[in-house]
């Protein structure tokens, strides 16, 4: 039992030190976009706001999605680090259940289980709200959320509506970080 307590304390400390959104209890189960169309979702999305994530350190974060011949989705994430270098990663997303196509799993490393990628809301043309949550030991969870847009800016009215959806899902919107989308030379298409 003592080793379990030490492990739990180490995990808690690691998550807190990186600013992760760490919570006691299991993941919430928010509703997802009912009429989600994965084909319409393809293309580039710019990050407007996000919950803290230890794997995101830069500015100008964006994701580009492309449909692959086997029906999976190529994921290409990019950001500019403080030293001016472009940091990028490639992954693959898969629709988990065709009756709920807004629930995807994404993997960036072979042999590592997919991370949840739930599209809670989108109009496919201008905004998207994405949520991810993973349970650990049925005792705590770590969650992530992203407000995305097809352009590097999104109206405050839409951002407020998406905040309301996150709040209804049990997410603390006061922890959201606004992504710097200025001076993105090198990523601009």
* Burial class (CB within 10 angstroms; exposed 0-12, middle 13-18, buried 19+) of 42: middle
Question: Does residue 12 lie in a domain region?
Answer: no
pLDDT, position 68: 97
The answer to whether residue 21 is domain-embedded is no
- The pTM assigned to this predicted structure is 0.86
In DSSP terms, 142 is beta-bridged to 22, 134
- For residue 184, is it within any domain? no
Alpha carbon of 35 to those of 30, 31, 64, 74: distances in Å? 15, 12, 21, 21
Inter-CA distances, 87 with 11, 74, 109, 176, 182, Å:
26, 17, 16, 22, 16
Share of the chain above pLDDT 90, in %: 66
Give pLDDT, residue 17.
39
pLDDT of residue 15: 43
Asked whether residue 24 is domain-assigned, the answer is no
Find the CATH number of the domain harbouring 42: 2.40.128.20
Asked whether residue 98 is assigned to any structural domain, the reply reads: yes
**How many H-runs (helices) and E-runs (strands) does the chain carry?**
3, 10
Q: Tell me the pLDDT tens digit for each residue of 123-169.
A: 999 999 999 988 777 778 788 899 999 999 999 999 999 999 999 99
Residue 4 resides in a domain:
no
The total of structural domains in the chain comes to 1
**How confident is the model over 73-101, as pLDDT tens digits?**
999 999 999 999 999 999 999 999 999 99
pLDDT for the residue numbered 53: 78
Question: Region 102-125: what's the mean pLDDT?
Answer: 93
Percent of the chain with pLDDT over 70: 87
Residue 148: which domain range? 29-178
Residue 4 has a pLDDT of: 40
User: Does residue 14 sit within a domain?
Assistant: no
Q: Is residue 186 part of a domain?
A: no
């Amino acid at each position: 039992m003592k080793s379990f307590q030490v492990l739990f304390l180490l995990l808690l400390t690691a998550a807190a030190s990186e600013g992760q959104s760490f919570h006691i209890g299991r993941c919430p189960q928010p509703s997802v976009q009912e009429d989600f169309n994965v084909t319409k979702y393809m293309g580039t999305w710019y990050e407007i706001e996000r919950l803290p994530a230890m794997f995101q350190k830069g500015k100008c974060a964006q994701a580009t999605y492309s449909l692959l011949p086997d029906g999976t989705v190529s994921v290409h994430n990019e950001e500019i680090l403080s030293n001016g270098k472009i940091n990028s990663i490639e992954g693959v997303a898969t629709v988990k259940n065709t009756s709920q196509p807004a629930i995807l799993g994404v993997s960036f490393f072979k042999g590592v289980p997919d991370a949840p990628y739930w599209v809670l809301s989108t109009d496919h043309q201008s905004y998207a709200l994405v949520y991810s949550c993973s349970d650990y030991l049925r005792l705590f969870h770590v969650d992530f959320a992203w407000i995305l847009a097809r352009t590097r800016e999104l109206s405050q009215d839409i951002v407020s509506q998406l905040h309301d959806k996150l709040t209804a899902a049990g997410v603390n919107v006061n922890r959201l970080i606004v992504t710097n989308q200025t001076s993105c030379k090198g990523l601009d298409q």
